[in-house]
Structure 1
């Protein structure tokens, strides 16, 4: 990437002395060379966009594409492009492919474009072989190849001894184990949150305690083994309380939440819109408000768009037969910015790196240029025109969002939407 000057950009970085300042920024050879009121360089590419803001680049810890095996859902190339144009310079890529990412070879396949694209992929390896929950996968070997955590994506660890052994083994190399919070024997084949609403809809419900029982079990195992445990996709008030108590007791436990869980409750299901079928299911308003409060207080360590493309034939069917999931990269910034405001949103989009022990970035002279570019003040209604993914199964259609990402500077490359 040749020299770039970003003209009159507002810097959002609470760790920088330039926070909330409007400055010119000169970037050369992946490094921020100069930050000043006015910078001129005839050899530099000029980027001047009205109301352009930037921050340290964003990271999402739970993104799904499809390749290998499900390229008709999403390819690596288009998925990476979608992430970058949505403001994400780094993503944690889930292992829910075919074959499942449970070997060094699978990890390296997921990283194959890291040297040539603006977006950096950090694979998550499967915790068990083929994500079947029976035998541990090659955890150490996958970490050596670049895996940042281990998860059988949205498959609960039914055998408690598997979790025990995984936590004990992973301590030897600082590995992070994830456990999806669901007691499968209680949930069975249910579709939505169990409540008066599910009765009215005539759909089988998953009670909140199916999540909480699993978390109680997992935390008891963690207390015995030690190690590091991450609980993704928390969705209930009582689950958060359990995690808060475990943290207070000194356990190394972190948790995450999907952005749509912060935005919606199960009342939106009355039209049987399969775009709003997700797992864990949308819960009631009390749970939603508890999740928002958990984000505000810091009990929740990560937010994720939980990007999960589905083909039309997997969504355009009766509600009971539709597969759960929504694309989310394109709507993540606008949804969070509407809920929490700009500074908190940027904090949420960058803080997950701490959980996964990734390098953090700051906007300072001499630092690596890893930046997300965005227009935070644009109010709009999210529509299919905003979707870059190969499939357009978004939960946010028709929703009023605030702010749009327009690109990134990372890996010595610029990726920018055409405005």
Structure 2
């Protein structure tokens, strides 16, 4: 089928049309023509809207699909529908299912169930069996079976020897290790950020130190691997600069504190092949939001201080933080309608990433925001680049950056969102992906 996108402003730093307003003719999944006032054949679907913008398709690097095992919370069909409604053409799903994605059989199930969906699903495989942090999975086999990266997902790697050996093992295949930094012995039984607010509310705190210690540890281990790798020690370039060209070797996910941002900023200045992302809700809320004990605001890492939130925005602006993720974590009513200290962690966020950032923006330009959702995630994940140019694959997101809309219902099976019922600025019109137009009604 043919589509004509009429008079859209291009937002793509890699395209020669960046910033221009033009028409795009899409045919058989490819951008056939870009120009002004393009004519179309009968039967071509014309897509137009006020202040319409177009960019390469958005990528969400952190999604809990909950399938297999927890389909009452979410399944691969519902999560893909929610992702498309949020403007995403690609999502990366975590291995924390039941069974865990720690073998080719489970990986194959997720890939098969993802066929024909409105988004492309990329699967992260577990580093350790059952994501238990003890015995290694067959990472090489999982890599060849299609795993896009390796992580124990919601479970931070506590054993430094496991992280060290994983970095060494993944180097020959240019693999990516993703770790959520948390020293869990320091956050045990914690409910929210440790600070004045946790004291006032009488809740056990989770210190930012628990995150920062793990980042420092992991960076030291990464530097150790690079400096002692015999495969690269005689290279004319430094080990770090050589590996940076291949993509980051270590990715920190959902960082939340000012000190974390500074540690990663320093590591990048030293040339270490490292990257990081931030969950969208960390940019919107600080720990004072928990005064009403709303369990839909209970997340891990927890909302930090106002100063931490400001540092996260600054890290996005200066390039320290590479990507913004939804950290979409569906929880059913039985997991959230409890006393605050008994409720599960997590927020659903696929449908509200763009609107939440635009509504609460602290100095991030539209071009920078789109870069965090497109170019940077693709580079980190070693995905093929997508650019707005004739002859290129038409994996596109259409949006109105200043259009208000109300998040009145969700396509997710779970409803644990603090944004339900709120009016946000920045509306997704739809996506074009794999030859289909997924309209956001």
Equivalent of 1:300 in 316, 321, 328: 321
Name 1:225's counterpart in structure 2.
225
Name 1:349's counterpart in structure 2.
373
Structure 1 vs Structure 2 CA RMSD: 1.5
- Output the TM-score relative to the length of structure 1: 0.95
Give the 3-state SS of the residue equivalent to 1:72 in structure 2. coil
Shift in Å at residue 256 of structure 1? 1.1
Equivalent of 1:370 in 358, 372, 395: 395
- Aligned equivalents of 2:189, 2:132: Cα separation in 1: 18
User: What do the CA deviations read for 1:352-374 (whole angstroms, capped 9, x no partner)?
Assistant: 11111111211111111110011
Give the 3-state SS of the residue equivalent to 1:98 in structure 2. coil
Name 1:314's counterpart in structure 2.
335
* Contact kept? 2:59, 2:88, Cα under 8 Å: yes
Shift in Å at residue 250 of structure 1? 2.3
User: What do the CA deviations read for 1:225-267 (whole angstroms, capped 9, x no partner)?
Assistant: 1371111111111112111222222221111111111111101
Name 1:379's counterpart in structure 2.
404
Shift in Å at residue 149 of structure 1? 1.0
- Aligned equivalents of 2:33, 2:16: Cα separation in 1: 13
- Aligned equivalents of 1:390, 1:413: Cα separation in 2: 24
Name 1:23's counterpart in structure 2.
22
- Aligned equivalents of 1:195, 1:293: Cα separation in 2: 22
Q: Aligned runs of 1:3-402 on 2, under 5 Å?
A: 3-40=2-39, 41-226=41-226, 228-338=249-359, 339=361, 340-350=364-374, 351-380=376-405, 382-383=406-407, 385-397=408-420, 399-402=422-425
Residue ranges of structure 2 left out of the alignment (5+ in a row): 227-242, 244-248
- Aligned equivalents of 2:12, 2:428: Cα separation in 1: 16
Shift in Å at residue 20 of structure 1? 2.7
Shift in Å at residue 194 of structure 1? 0.4
* Contact kept? 1:133, 1:157, Cα under 8 Å: yes
User: What do the CA deviations read for 1:144-203 (whole angstroms, capped 9, x no partner)?
Assistant: 111111111121211111111111111121111122211111111101000011000000
Shift in Å at residue 342 of structure 1? 2.5
- Aligned equivalents of 1:307, 1:209: Cα separation in 2: 24
Name 1:403's counterpart in structure 2.
426
- Aligned equivalents of 2:356, 2:83: Cα separation in 1: 16
Shift in Å at residue 397 of structure 1? 3.6
* Contact kept? 2:76, 2:114, Cα under 8 Å: no
* Contact kept? 1:27, 1:369, Cα under 8 Å: yes
- Aligned equivalents of 1:368, 1:103: Cα separation in 2: 32
User: What do the CA deviations read for 1:91-120 (whole angstroms, capped 9, x no partner)?
Assistant: 111111100011122222222255423310
Q: Does the C-alpha gap of structure 1 residues 341 and 241 become closer, same or farther in structure 2, counting only changes over 3 Å?
A: closer
Shift in Å at residue 271 of structure 1? 0.3
Give the 3-state SS of the residue equivalent to 2:398 in structure 1. strand
Give the 3-state SS of the residue equivalent to 1:321 in structure 2. coil
Figure out how many residues of one structure are paired with residues of the other and give that number: 415
- Aligned equivalents of 1:349, 1:16: Cα separation in 2: 16
- Aligned equivalents of 2:294, 2:356: Cα separation in 1: 19
* Bigger mean CA deviation after superposition, 7-16 or 260-269: 7-16
Q: Does the C-alpha gap of structure 1 residues 75 and 115 become closer, same or farther in structure 2, counting only changes over 3 Å?
A: closer
User: What do the CA deviations read for 1:368-400 (whole angstroms, capped 9, x no partner)?
Assistant: 1110011222124x54x2422111111324554
Shift in Å at residue 139 of structure 1? 1.1
- Aligned equivalents of 2:355, 2:427: Cα separation in 1: 6
Residue ranges of structure 1 left out of the alignment (5+ in a row): none
- Output the TM-score relative to the length of structure 2: 0.91
* Contact kept? 1:117, 1:413, Cα under 8 Å: no
